[in-house]
Amino acid sequence: MALSKKPVTGMKDILPEEMQIRDYVIGVIKETYGKFGFTSIETPCVENIANLTNKQGGDNEKLIFKILKRGEKLNVAEATTEEEVVDGGLRYDLTVPLVRYYSNNAAQLPAPFKSLQMGNVWRADRPQRGRYRQFMQCDIDILGEPSNLAEIELILATTTTLGKLGFKNFQIRINDRQILKAMAAYSGFAEDSYDSVFITLDKMDKIGLDGVEAELLANGFAKESVDKYLELFKGLGSAENGVAYLAETLNGFLDTQVAEGLQEIIDSVSATKAAQFDMVFDATLVRGMSYYTGTIFEIAIPEFGGSCGGGGRYDKMVGKFTGNDVPACGFSIGFERIVLLLLESGFKVPTQPKKVAYLIEKGVGGQALCDVIAQAQEARKDGLQVLVARMNKNKKFQKEQLQKEGYEDFVEFYKDPLKN
């Protein structure tokens, strides 16, 4: 039986054209985030299964690629529970590994710590456009900064990066988990039902206000609470300033400092941004991760039609490892979706060196071959990108393929000097 030449479902081979764009995007990200003071780190792709299943990762915990114990520790025949055969898993995001990393190394890190982490993550998800089972994530996080300076810096760094990559007229949607909870409390929902309410609210952009109403009622919530809840969103539709409207309406349920802090983030980013985008308060923004404790935000790029990154504040997560809470906030850019949009737009990497191919006839060898290679070395010193390759029998097809990779000029070397 022949071996399969196709990648595993949900994973993909990356061809040179895309790899060139990926490398360029990585370069822009690292350079831009570096200017904001973020420091690169790396964590293992495998985490302790207990860390990955601590009820912090929402639905992602259902999508873990789990790893069996090894050697003598693995006894499948006698096992009666999963815990007896599984002790690790491939990371589904970079936040859990970062928090473990920080908890283990905090004494050797500056305070606050501004982290940049890029790497593959794995989710046993249903593949679709812009969504894979193995994909690159790119996170920046600030740990140890309790004020909204963290949110402002994270949003400015991320949007500056998107601007440098040529994106315009996108949105940063922003909300706060404390506002979500205050709206639910004001409406009369029981605290233990908030997550269920938020799951329905998160569908607002797909099913609309009427759909949210129907689903909440179908889930058994009291009509009085549902009506009061939906009235808040109707009021937001006509409010000049949504944050101020909710601060006034939710008086007694929402700490005024929450609304003031959120407005300060919006105003500060809008006044100092280096890219062309809008900051939009969106009271329907939920974000799926249960570890978020405060501000949450998301990137919306019209060309994609969905989220292209997001993040928020998770002040309680470090405490799960150390027993002491540490303020933390992060923003993840949708790397794969950004690359997809650049590919679809026909994006060409700027400031690339001129690419020249030296094609050598099969019979060229000895001193003649050394002369060709020496000539290529001199051209490289002059800043050219030079490919030295043997000439194929179908030279025309070979050139066509190289042209697709950006080679502009061809220099041919033959065994017979008169042909050169």
DSSP 192-205: GGHHHHHHHHTTHH
Same domain, 387 and 279: no
Same domain, 179 and 123: no
Q: With CA atoms as reference, report the closest residue to 29 among 308, 276, 338, 279.
A: 338
- Across-strand partners of 332? 139, 310
Same domain, 292 and 154: no
**pLDDT value for 420:** 66
**pLDDT value for 81:** 67
Q: With CA atoms as reference, report the closest residue to 284 among 212, 204, 177.
A: 204
Same domain, 295 and 308: no
Query: Tell me, what CATH number does 207's domain have?
Result: 3.30.930.10
Same domain, 206 and 290: yes
Q: With CA atoms as reference, report the closest residue to 92 among 128, 55, 47.
A: 47
Same domain, 157 and 174: no
The residue type found at 224 is E
Domains contained in the chain, number: 3
> Is 342 within the bounds of a domain?
yes
**pLDDT value for 23:** 95
**pLDDT value for 374:** 93
Query: Tell me, what CATH number does 362's domain have?
Result: 3.40.50
> Is 150 within the bounds of a domain?
yes
Put the strands of the sheet holding 134-143 in their side by side order: 39-41, 113-122, 134-143, 328-333, 306-313, 295-301, 170-176, 277-281
Same domain, 105 and 188: no
Same domain, 258 and 323: no
For 215, the domain range is: 170-301
**pLDDT value for 146:** 95
Task: Say what the pTM is.
Answer: 0.88
Same domain, 28 and 154: yes
> Is 3 within the bounds of a domain?
no
Same domain, 321 and 369: no
Same domain, 109 and 27: yes
> Is 372 within the bounds of a domain?
yes
Question: What does R_g of the chain's alpha carbons equal in angstroms?
Answer: 27
Look at residue 351 and give its three-state secondary structure. Answer: coil
Q: With CA atoms as reference, report the closest residue to 122 among 40, 52, 27.
A: 52
**pLDDT value for 77:** 56
> Is 37 within the bounds of a domain?
yes
Segment-wise mean pLDDT, segments of 10 residues, the chain, 420 residues: 88 91 96 96 95 79 86 62 80 94 96 96 86 93 96 96 93 96 95 92 90 94 95 91 95 94 96 93 86 93 85 94 95 94 90 88 89 92 92 91 88 79
> Is 2 within the bounds of a domain?
no
Same domain, 277 and 317: no
> Is 6 within the bounds of a domain?
no
Six token digits for residue 260? 């003031």
Six token digits for residue 103? 């908890």
Six token digits for residue 407? 């080679």
> Is 228 within the bounds of a domain?
yes
**pLDDT value for 74:** 64
